[in-house]
């Protein structure tokens, strides 16, 4: 089972019920209907927060998670509509660009399918440091803290849905492809890597399209830059390479691999298939797998087994009435496998000085995973085919605490 530090802590809550200060009983538009879901429980609990704009903020809609991040659905007093607000403590490291600053550059570069950020701010006059030595404080010892952090708030103009709220299997594939196009634009036009592709950083907009959000871990890849210790990303969706070696350099292919795991995870969990009876084992061994060594926590063995031998999912994995999805996953795993095999041969040749390393490196350009094109074509091929209609997702996992394969309670990724 994952430790709290390694498990993805994000949780998308259910909308608050009740009457709203800001909506009518009969909302006229889709945005009004959506806003009505986020009604305030008690008008008296609202406060006004200023971050270059005035927002009425009520109760948070998420628990505090790493890095001390919380989310709200505030009401913008000027434009009279709901928005998104994220409050966190971002690490101050030379290797990490200011995520919201990068995000603000993306719309000017005509990057598709991203959030429009309204404002951001770093509150001053913090008193947090006064409590670092208190006995009741939880977390790592003060002396072990290696990175300074800054209190950061950012607001955006979109209220989005969790990926688990998809209306059809084709929609979820299109939504993820939309996010993939955002990643492609950001990398090709701006030289920016997202570095945290996961199910919670892709949203379904109110009109049903996909949005790639949360660029906090994003990095400008052009030019030399110092690196910080530790992994970047969300454990369940990290590449095999990063899970096995947290000191390895994050590259484009790590993000591309994560997109594949997002599709596979959602498909296995929310759509019917012939491996449901062993789904808890698949989730635990492929997505949650880890082991402890003197230098830290490693993983990736389950994913490597799935990629190279179709371990846990089986070579006969088939989604009920979803041939395009079944074919997409098989092709994606083959693309990852081919890239992994080719890069391993190249690294081994270079390490052993066999003399053919340069030739093997040139051959990497022929791999489908060398850039965005290979998976892009896989998405387009799948989406061009006929898909079932109105097949909303249904959680295929057993209720928490009723693990069907060994009777142990596991912690599933919350959506």
What's the confidence (pLDDT) of residue 127? 61
8 Å CB contact between 178 and 209: yes
Q: Which residue has the tokens 């989730």?
A: 283
* Mean pLDDT across 326-339: 98
* Mean pLDDT across 295-299: 92
More confident residue, 127 or 384: 384
Q: Domain-by-domain residue ranges, the chain?
A: 1-91+117-156, 159-415
How far is 313 from 326, CA to CA, in rounded Å? 12
190: enclosing H helix or E strand: helix 169-190
* 319 has a pLDDT exceeding 90: yes
Q: Select the CATH number that applies to the domain covering 159-415 from these four: 3.10.20.600, 1.10.510.10, 3.90.1150.10, 1.10.1060.10.
A: 1.10.510.10
* 304 has a pLDDT exceeding 90: yes
Show the tokens assigned to 254: 């790590």
How far is 113 from 115, CA to CA, in rounded Å? 7
* Mean pLDDT across 304-319: 97
Q: Which residue has the tokens 């074509």?
A: 377
* 383 has a pLDDT exceeding 80: yes
What's the confidence (pLDDT) of residue 402? 52
* 404 has a pLDDT exceeding 50: no
* Lowest-confidence pick of 24-38, 112-126, 191-205, 290-304: 24-38
- The 10s digit of each residue's pLDDT in 350-373 is 777 777 777 878 788 999 999 999
- Residue-averaged pLDDT of the chain: 78
What's the confidence (pLDDT) of residue 20? 27
* 297 has a pLDDT exceeding 70: yes
* 125 has a pLDDT exceeding 90: no
pTM here?
Answer: 0.78
DSSP label at residue 240? H
More confident residue, 335 or 100: 335
* Mean pLDDT across 33-56: 55
CB neighbours of 195 closer than 8 A, spacing ≥ 6? 217, 218, 219, 232, 233, 250, 254, 255
Show the tokens assigned to 148: 């300074």
Distance of CA 235 to the CA centre of its chain: 10
8 Å CB contact between 260 and 387: no
User: pLDDT exceeding 90 applies to what percent of the chain?
Assistant: 45
78 confidence band (pLDDT: 50, 70, 90): confident
* 221 has a pLDDT exceeding 80: yes
CB count, 10 Å around CB of 155? 24
406 confidence band (pLDDT: 50, 70, 90): very low
- The 10s digit of each residue's pLDDT in 161-179 is 889 889 999 999 999 999 9
């Amino acid at each position: 089972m994952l430790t709290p530090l390694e498990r993805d802590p994000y949780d998308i809550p259910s909308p608050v019920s009740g009457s709203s200060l800001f909506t009518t009983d009969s909302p006229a538009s889709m945005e009004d209907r959506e806003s009505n879901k986020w009604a305030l429980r008690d008008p008296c609990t609202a406060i006004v927060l200023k971050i270059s704009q005035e927002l009425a903020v009520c109760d948070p809609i998420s628990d505090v998670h790493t890095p001390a991040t919380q989310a709200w659905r505030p009401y913008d007093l000027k434009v009279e509509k709901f928005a998104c607000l994220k409050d966190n403590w971002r690490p101050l490291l030379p290797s990490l660009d200011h995520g919201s600053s990068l995000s603000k550059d993306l719309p000017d570069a005509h990057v598709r399918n991203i959030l429009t950020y309204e404002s951001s701010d770093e509150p001053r006059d913090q008193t947090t440091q006064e409590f670092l030595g208190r006995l009741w404080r939880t977390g790592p010892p003060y002396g072990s803290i290696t990175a300074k952090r800054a209190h950061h708030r950012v607001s955006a103009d979109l209220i989005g849905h969790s990926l688990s709220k998809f209306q059809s299997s084709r929609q979820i594939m299109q939504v993820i492809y939309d996010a993939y196009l955002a990643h492609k634009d950001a990398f090709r036009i701006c030289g920016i890597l997202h570095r945290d592709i996961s199910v919670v950083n892709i949203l379904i907009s109110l009109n049903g399209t996909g949005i790639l959000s949360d660029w906090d871990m994003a990095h400008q890849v052009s030019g030399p830059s110092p690196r910080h210790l530790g992994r970047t990303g969300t454990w369940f969706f990290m590449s095999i390479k990063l899970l096995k070696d947290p000191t390895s350099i994050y590259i484009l292919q790590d993000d591309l691999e994560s997109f594949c795991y997002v599709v596979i995870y959602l498909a296995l969990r929310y759509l019917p298939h012939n491996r449901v009876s062993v789904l808890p084992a698949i989730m635990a061994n492929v997505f949650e797998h880890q082991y402890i060594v003197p230098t830290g926590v490693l993983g990736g063995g389950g994913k490597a087994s799935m990629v190279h031998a179709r371990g846990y999912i089986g070579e006969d994995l088939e989604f009920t009435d979803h041939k395009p999805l079944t074919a997409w996953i098989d092709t994606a795993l083959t693309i990852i496998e081919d890239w992994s095999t080719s890069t391993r041969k190249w690294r081994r040749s270079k390490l052993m000085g066999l003399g053919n390393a340069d030739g093997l490196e040139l051959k990497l350009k022929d791999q489908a995973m060398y850039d965005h094109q290979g998976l892009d074509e896989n998405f387009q091929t799948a989406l061009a085919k006929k898909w079932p209609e109105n097949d909303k997702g249904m959680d295929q996992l057993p209720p928490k605490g009723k693990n069907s394969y060994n009777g142990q309670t596991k912690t599933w990724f919350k959506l």
